[in-house]
Amino acid sequence: MARKLLLEHINVPGINTFDVYRQKGGYAAVEKALKTLTPEEIVEEVKKSGLRGRGGAGFPTGMKWSFLAKPEGVARYLVCNADESEPGTFKDRYLMTYIPHLLIEGMIVSSFALGAHASYIYVRGEMMPQIRILEKAIAEAKAKGFLGKNILGTGYDLELYVQPGGGAYICGEETALLESLEGKRGNPRIKPPFPAIAGLYGCPTVVNNVESIAAVVPIINEGGEEYAKVGVGRSTGTKLISAGGNVKKPGVYEIDLGLPVEEFLYSDEYCGGIANGKRLKAVVAGGSSVPILPANLFLKTINGDARLMSYESLADGGFVSGTMMGSGGFIAFDEDQCIVRNTWNFTRFYHHESCGQCSPCREGTGWMEKVLHRLEYGHGKMSDMDLLVDVSKKIEGNTICPLGDAAAWPVASAIRHFRDEFEWHVTNGAEAVKRNYGLAHYADPLPKPEAV
């Protein structure tokens, strides 16, 4: 069993309180960082660790920190993006509910590294219990002198605030989050300028995911090089995966990056296989916005290698036969699930959550939703699949923020891999309402590539 870095003490009773967390070695990273390291050294450690952003894009966190502009006399901010609302992802909520002090410890260390004296945790509005938990944890930490003025006598001041959002998916996009945090309408900003130059209130800002910030704690405790030993290649460390869908044991699992997907899906330590003895049909590997893959392409890459849970291996094959790590929202579909219905459901979500600022996303998501609805209820046409691909192409890459891409990819990939099922919905319209297409050939072994 692999070592857990984030969730090591998750099952200790009372770990959500300051005292138990402290007993289990908590806040050691704060002491180490504030007393023995300089901010530059912390950034260097994070760079060495190879930690990549856990929110979805996978941008190296150390690089992001080193891009932060540091003009004299201008405040800098660290903002924690806890607006987790991707369908299929629930790791941040889990972490904040059960071990809130880990996030707060990470926030203190990261804020110190960036020279921020006021930091914000922007929590999705629907997560009211987590907001209360965090506020209580912050109050505890403050009472013990880990927050506020002159932390641990080192002369470093930090105020930590929790800001509830209004419950919009788009506010998980970093610039929309900053707009919302400033009290404005959560529309993504046009970049450049990037938040590292002009972010919150026009000041240099770093926006990081909850898990990225929490991962700073083991990096400081053990050193960046030690952290980098876990994982494979450029995917270092551990990752929280929210396993959901038709698996036997859904939940949040901490895995070493580089774990074979087959082991993750079928071993009893993790998902435990597909529920009710059914067979796997398709997998969405990293939250609703990444391309969906049929079972055969998911377990093996196009070259026949076993696929691993790592940024590179999941992306192997690009958009043709690969997917993405995303935010780690792992959704498994068994043979009784309808891909058309699922695609419609995802698109309905993006239609609902589009901010309406730029035209391709505002109009295109609604259009795709209507076409998919028609297909799902058996009124589709054969030309609809090409129409959907065309519309998704016209959204992808033409919008201000990545929501347009996120809306386009699931549709394009579903049609790429499951076209037979879409066509069956057209040719057997009446039947499609009553029953599902089934597994078909989606789990068959891949054909051997012909030698040329």
Q: Residue 399, interface with other proteins (CB under 8 A)?
A: yes
Please name which of 75, 95, 40, 331 lies closest in space to residue 212, comparing C-alpha atoms: 95
170 binds other proteins (CB under 8 A): yes
198 binds other proteins (CB under 8 A): no
| Contact call for residue 365 and other proteins (CB under 8 A) | yes
Closest to other proteins by CB, 318 or 356: 356
- Dihedral angle at the C-alpha atoms of 181, 187, 191, 194, nearest 10 degrees? 10
- Letter string b/e over residues 94-112, b meaning 16 or more CB atoms within 10 A of that residue's CB: bbbebbbbbbbbbbbbbbb
**One residue of 136, 234, 362, 416 binding other proteins per CB under 8 A:** 362
Nearest Cα residue to 63 out of 287, 218, 234: 234
Distance in Å, CB of 192 to other proteins, minimum: 8
- The answer to whether 168 contacts other proteins (rule: CB under 8 A) is yes
d(CA 67, CA 63): 6
Stretch that binds other proteins, among 34-42, 254-262, 355-363, 444-452 (CB under 8 A): 355-363
User: Is-contact 162 123, C-beta < 8 A?
Assistant: yes
User: What are the contacts of 395-400 at 24+ separation with CB within 8 A?
Assistant: 395/360, 395/361, 395/364, 395/365, 398/358, 398/360, 399/358, 399/360, 399/361, 400/188, 400/189, 400/190, 400/357, 400/358
Contact flag: residue 246 with other proteins (CB under 8 A): no
289 binds other proteins (CB under 8 A): no
Site for other proteins contains 425 (CB under 8 A): no
State yes or no: residue 400 binds other proteins (CB under 8 A).
yes
Minimum distance from CB of 398 to other proteins (Å)?
5
CB 157 within 8 A of CB 151: yes
Among 366, 378, 429, 438, binds other proteins (CB under 8 A): 366
What angle do the packed helices 419-427 and 359-376 form, to 10 degrees?
60
> Is position 356 an interface residue for other proteins (rule: CB under 8 A)?
yes
- Residues touching other proteins: how many (CB under 8 A)? 30
273 binds other proteins (CB under 8 A): no
Question: Exactly one of 22, 117, 394, 416 binds other proteins (CB under 8 A); which one?
Answer: 394
Cβ atoms within 10 Å, residue 75: 14
Pick from 105, 353, 376, 421 the residue near other proteins by CB under 8 A: 353
Out of 20, 57, 232, 387, the only residue in the binding site for other proteins (CB under 8 A) is: 387
Query: Tokens for 349?
Result: 């979500």
Interaction site with other proteins (CB under 8 A): 168, 170, 185, 190, 351-360, 362-367, 370, 387, 390-391, 393-394, 397-400
